[in-house]
Amino acid sequence: MSDEKNKKTDEGLQGNEKIESAVAALQREPSEEMLAHTLTVIRRRMKEGGQLIVDVEPSVAGAVTSEDGQTWWTAFTSFEEEVKGSGSVMSTFLSDMEELFTAAVSENGISGVIINPWNRTIMLDKMLLKIILGRDV
């Protein structure tokens, strides 16, 4: 059964369930150790060529504003995560994690990337993105 499920999942998304599991563990047990573990899992997926689902126009529709007024790009680990909270179907594409994170770090108008904003959410601000990318913070 799991082989059948994987055939339906785009190759670039296979393995993203590791991110979902790490974020779920972080939500259950918020600590610096669990955050470090989660960032390591995300970095490993990025280095494997992992992809996330993003809106075609992340600067407009694919952005959300948090309660404190900051603007964030949204990205999803799977199509199932994408449809959980959206009332309408967005035009999406698969983006290389490293390219997305690099663009987010250099984009002045945003604070970072929220992965899976509806469920198993992690907000990666620019400092965390730089850690994942292996850059000086």
Distance, in Å, from the CA atom of 101 to the CA atom of 86, rounded to the nearest integer, reads 23
- Weakest-pLDDT range from 22-36, 51-65, 69-83, 114-128: 51-65
CB 30 within 8 A of CB 126: no
- According to the model, what pLDDT value does residue 11 have? 83
- According to the model, what pLDDT value does residue 40 have? 97
Q: Angle at CA 39, nearest 5°, toward 17 and 15?
A: 20
pLDDT at residue 124 above 50? yes
Condensed to tens digits (0 to 9), the pLDDT of residues 10-20 reads 788 999 999 99
**Rounded (to 5) percent helix, strand, coil in the chain:** 45, 20, 35
